[in-house]
Amino acid sequence: MNRQFHSKTSLRNYALLAALLSVAIYFMWNTESLTRQWSGVLIAIVLLVIVIVIERIIHTTYTITKERTLVIHQGRFSKDKVIPLDDIERIDRISRNRIGGKPLMTYLAVVLKDHTEHYITPKNEEDFIKCIAQRRKKTEEAEVESAEVPSVEEKLAEMEDAHLRLRAEFENYRKRTMKEKADLLKSASERVLVEILPLVDDFERGIQAGICPDSHHSSAGAKHHHSGRGLRHEARH
């Protein structure tokens, strides 16, 4: 929200206005001292200066904007001065032309960081200085908060990185689990075969011990004996 301060009217402005009016009245009443042409030109110039002075006295304002700038408006005949609040180094109160201990003229000097000065005369000087200080403080706090709080892009980048890390960890876990499962099945099969081998040996010995009367049984026993040896050989390898 913008905050506007009107300019106070100083004795210097009244004195300048009175002097200009006196000059204008002088030339209007003493046209004989100059030619009619020159007197008209001088009167027009003086009247124009009077209008400019009155315009500055009435319409000079100082606006502190929500964009954190100080806008000095000195009437319709002057260009506005826009000063960023961040460029202000300090504001000095100056008093001059004291009579009886009381200053005839007081104004504020807005000193910038590049050491340039702008002289202003707001009606409520204390309120103006406080408003400037509050706006600058809010600006500094906002800058600190923006520096501390991460942006949306940074948060998204962090979440995406965490997601990629989690996927990589899960993939490694899945591969490790599958390998462990395969190793477990392989070792279990080997144990089963090793436990079966003594039974196969016992079975072969039993076949060899039972001598059959005919050659058919002998050949069958030899065939079983040969197959048992092959099975044991494969299991061991």
pLDDT single digits (tens) 131-182 = 988 888 876 655 555 555 566 777 788 888 888 888 888 888 888 888 887 7
Cα–Cα distance, 204 to 199 (Å, whole number): 9
pLDDT at 63: 93
CB atoms within 10 A of CB 82: 13
Domain of 32, in residue numbers: 3-148
Q: Are residues 133 and 157 in the same domain?
A: no
**Number of domains, the chain:** 2
State whether 89 and 182 are in the same domain. Answer: no
Please give the Cα distance from 7 to 102 (Å, whole number). Answer: 20
Same domain, 175 and 159: yes
Residue 84: predicted pLDDT:
92
pLDDT of residue 112: 93
Q: Can you tell me the distance from the alpha carbon of 125 to that of 106, in angstroms, rounded to the nearest whole number?
A: 10
Asked if the model's pLDDT at residue 206 lies above 90, the reply is: no
Kindly report whether the global pTM for this prediction surpasses the value 0.75. Answer: no
pLDDT tens readout for residues 66-121: 888 999 998 888 889 999 988 999 999 888 766 656 666 788 999 999 989 998 98
